[in-house]
Structure 1
Amino acid sequence: MLLLPSTCLRTRTLSLVIASRSLSNQLIQIDQHHVRERQVRVCRRFGQNNWLLRPWFLRYIPRDGYPINVRYVDTDPDNNANRPVIVLLHGTPGSYYDYFRFIADFGDRYRCIVPNFPDFTHTIQSGGCFWHSAEEKSEFVADLLADLKISRVHCLVAHSLSVYTASYLWIYANQKPYFDLDSICLISPAGRFRYRRRHRIRMRLLSQMCRMLWLRKMIPRTWLANRSAVTPLLSSTNMLANRNIAMWKTLTENLSNYDSYHLRLRVLANNLQLPTLFIYSSNDKLYPADLYYEQLYELQITGDEFDKYEHYENRLVQVAADHHDRWIRVVDFSGGGHYLHNTHSYLIHSYIDELLNNIT
């Protein structure tokens, strides 16, 4: 365990900065030619196998799936270059704009697919379909890739709440009719929430109230304002849009099956062992560090098995021992926030580039 900067550590940090300096010189924007929209019928597997549905999931699902208009980014829409595919999943609330730096840095070498998840406005307009559960979102991603005729994903990148969706995808990956998956990158992944029984009952009731129009109007404002990341949204004047965003995030958290998330982590650690990059900040202002430490425990990572950066100067102060021989690489940016892929992109992209280059 290395605690103070050495020549090796300074060399490592300098090489990361030099390797990614080209990113800062690029014009960071999303090419409108890469923004696409198509209608995809999703959740076909649920419509054809009703026994898969949970009690709170009961509703009519067409056998050929829900028709959803998907807006997404595809950096090689015609597939002329035949590049390896990277799928990026945004958090809630969020969109493909969350990955604008990633697209600028990797879009010319890889085919980056970045879909927008259906929001709560779609739920209202469609008469109550698509309730934003982790299972539904995983089917949404799988059906979109199948519609694009993509059978192999080089890397699956997930940020924040989308880790629950990613966890179902790595469980089902490499099995028909799903796609093959080569590697995983988790950025500030939300872990296993721990709520008191009273709070759980309120969450269940809130999820049911969101389903019906006349009940949605009766939802107390404090029930939505208590959601940590939604509070600033409720201070705006556009209350209808803000309530929709708040309910979107609430449903995403409530129906994420966070209670069993640690079991899917164990499958990844004990059975799959796909090449994985786990990036977080022990000083995250949105989620407590304990959520990340519990995930690392399930992934069998100890204190000296990850890279750690200093709080103020982003200086590398600890290097993981024997990381080349492990299936997972863990990085802690002590001074970072929740959106590390934008605030520390020049370093994170270097780690991702190393992960991609090491995949055979």
Structure 2
Amino acid sequence: MFPLLLNYRRIAATVGRSFSNQVIKIDQHHVRERQVKVCRRFGKNSRLLRPWFLRYIPQDGYPISVRYVDTSPDDDSRPVILLLHGTPGSFYDYFRFIADFGHQYRCIAPNFPDFTHTIRTGGCFWHSAEEKSEFIADLLADLNIKTVHCLVAHSLSAYTASYLWIYANQRPYFDLNSICLISPAGRFKYRWRHRVRMRLLTQLCRMLSLQKMMMPTEWLQSRPMANMPLSNMLARKDLAMWKMLTENLSNYDSYHLRLRVLAGNLKLPTLFIFSSNDKLYPADLYYEQLYELQVEGNEFDKYEHYENRLVQVAAGDRSDSWIRVVDFSGGGHYLHNTHSHLIHSYIDELLVHANIAH
């Protein structure tokens, strides 16, 4: 699948793309808003078959106002790239990506509903991975998009992406040609005390009393919220609850099984990008995902910590492999913004191959 990548300049010259060095803001003409009824598939099921956070969903779904970027709303001929941001985050996380790829591809980057939507609607939308995957599927169906050329997911949106690749190529879901995972969150291993705290906070959130209470400081200092500044957490409890709900209701305990399906049955063309020096998540979290994807330590490209020089090239013949893995050891969690030139070259190669394969 992936020819040997010696450096990003060679790839850029091969495909004839010139990546931008400038920071270009998202064109406001591309920012749109529409109301979509989401999770309709769950609404049609019996209440007894739904998890608690979907128990009282209306039969015709949640009505949610969605803000999203669509670079080519009137051109159905362009291949579609779907961009999923992490939590917290927004489509602005992909401003460099949209600047480089928006002229050739139809880039669609929706904003996931935040926690204020949950409070305002009296408990509608709990930010679970299942809800988010249905949210994406219903939005694309409303836009009449039946094929996604590439699904790009960053950080916690990997959980949502995992449900999308499980259900992709089945009706009423869309067809999916390739996947790009950037710093994907893996299978967390919380201590039992942290699990109890997360579940208790989830129940308090369910009662919609969080905005009236003070969360204990020691709770905020434990995972999954330890890496966010405490001052911001106390000032913006909605961000704390948004992140906590996303992780707690992500079914992270079974995430490795969805990775096995991708590696064993689907084998969609995949690009896995991470940093072994990520300050937010430990490197073991990424290595465990690579183990489930059946990737050995010498089977990925690795860049030097300081000068971003390629110091390790994937061993063996990777031309027929379905997955390519890149480690930017000197990068952080937002690699698609700090190492955009290199990463966009790898993504461009993935897009070219996915177009040939389909």
* TM-score, length basis structure 1: 0.92
After superposition, the C-alpha distances for 1:62-119 in whole angstroms (9 at most, x for unaligned) are: 1110000000000001226x20000000000000000000000000000000000000
* Aligned equivalent of 1:300: 294
Maintained 8 Å contact 1:46/1:52: no
After superposition, the C-alpha distances for 1:163-214 in whole angstroms (9 at most, x for unaligned) are: 0000000000000100000000000000000011222111111111112233
How far did residue 222 of structure 1 move?
A: 3.2
- Which residue of 138, 144, 162 corresponds with 2:139? 144
- Range with greater deviation from structure 2 (87-96 or 198-207): 198-207
- From the superposition, tell whether residues 41 and 58 of structure 1 become closer, same or farther in structure 2 (CA, over 3 Å): closer
* Aligned equivalent of 1:3: none
Distance 1:197 1:222 in 2: 15
Matched positions, count: 348
* Aligned equivalent of 1:341: 336
Question: Partner letter of residue 254 of structure 1?
Answer: N
Question: Partner letter of residue 299 of structure 2?
Answer: E
1:256 and 2:250 correspond: yes
1:235 and 2:231 correspond: yes
* Aligned equivalent of 1:4: none
* Aligned equivalent of 1:245: 239
How far did residue 216 of structure 1 move?
A: 4.8
- Which residue of 136, 142, 157 corresponds with 1:162? 157
- Which residue of 99, 110, 116 corresponds with 1:115? 110
Question: Partner letter of residue 119 of structure 1?
Answer: D
Distance 2:167 2:228 in 1: 36
Q: Percent identity of the aligned residues?
A: 76
Task: Describe the SS at the equivalent of 1:312.
Answer: coil
How far did residue 313 of structure 1 move?
A: 0.6
- Range with greater deviation from structure 2 (289-298 or 44-53): 44-53
How far did residue 12 of structure 1 move?
A: 2.8
- From the superposition, tell whether residues 84 and 15 of structure 1 become closer, same or farther in structure 2 (CA, over 3 Å): same
1:49 and 2:65 correspond: no
* TM-score, length basis structure 2: 0.92
Maintained 8 Å contact 2:69/2:91: yes
Distance 1:252 1:83 in 2: 32
Task: Describe the SS at the equivalent of 2:307.
Answer: coil
Maintained 8 Å contact 1:193/1:259: yes
Question: Partner letter of residue 42 of structure 1?
Answer: V
Distance 2:351 2:8 in 1: 19
1:37 and 2:33 correspond: yes
Maintained 8 Å contact 2:20/2:100: no
Distance 1:314 1:220 in 2: 42
Task: Describe the SS at the equivalent of 1:358.
Answer: helix
How far did residue 239 of structure 1 move?
A: 4.8
1:268 and 2:262 correspond: yes
1:62 and 2:58 correspond: yes
Maintained 8 Å contact 1:306/1:331: yes
How far did residue 52 of structure 1 move?
A: 4.2
Maintained 8 Å contact 2:81/2:149: yes
How far did residue 24 of structure 1 move?
A: 3.2
1:74 and 2:64 correspond: no
- From the superposition, tell whether residues 281 and 52 of structure 1 become closer, same or farther in structure 2 (CA, over 3 Å): farther
- From the superposition, tell whether residues 25 and 53 of structure 1 become closer, same or farther in structure 2 (CA, over 3 Å): same
- From the superposition, tell whether residues 18 and 32 of structure 1 become closer, same or farther in structure 2 (CA, over 3 Å): same
Task: Describe the SS at the equivalent of 2:19.
Answer: helix
Maintained 8 Å contact 1:224/1:247: no
Runs of 5+ unmatched residues, structure 2: none
Distance 2:210 2:353 in 1: 52
Distance 2:137 2:122 in 1: 23
Runs of 5+ unmatched residues, structure 1: 1-7
Superposed CA RMSD in Å reads 2.0
Distance 2:63 2:296 in 1: 45
How far did residue 319 of structure 1 move?
A: 1.1
Question: Partner letter of residue 200 of structure 2?
Answer: L
Task: Describe the SS at the equivalent of 2:306.
Answer: coil
* Aligned equivalent of 1:22: 18
Task: Describe the SS at the equivalent of 2:209.
Answer: helix
Distance 1:186 1:165 in 2: 11
Maintained 8 Å contact 2:224/2:247: no
